[in-house]
Amino acid sequence: MIRRATPSEGNVILVGEDQGQIVSTCYLNLIPNLTGSKKPSTLRFYEGAGLKAKEKTGFHTRL
């Protein structure tokens, strides 16, 4: 499965192993921020998807 994952910028695969055996995996796909636009049509799109225009919260870590 891990070898079949498409390697590209923004894709990260974390692997947990125990005694040389893979016991867990986590696939992370980083998607570019598309919400920087201030166009009314873009804001309406995101509000229609349930996002709040006046709220912004996020967390990140560097791998």
pTM over 0.85: no
**And the tokens for 23?**
């016991």
Q: Whose CA is closest to 14, among 29, 26, 6?
A: 26
What's the pLDDT score for residue 19? 94
Q: Whose CA is closest to 26, among 44, 39, 12?
A: 12
**And the tokens for 34?**
């598309």
What's the pLDDT score for residue 4? 63
Q: How far is Cα 61 from Cα 16, in angstroms, rounded to an integer?
A: 18
Q: If you average pLDDT over residues 33-62, what whole number do you get?
A: 75
Identify whether the C-beta of residue 15 lies closer than 8 Å to the C-beta of residue 2: yes
Q: How far is Cα 44 from Cα 16, in angstroms, rounded to an integer?
A: 41
Q: If you average pLDDT over residues 10-32, what whole number do you get?
A: 86
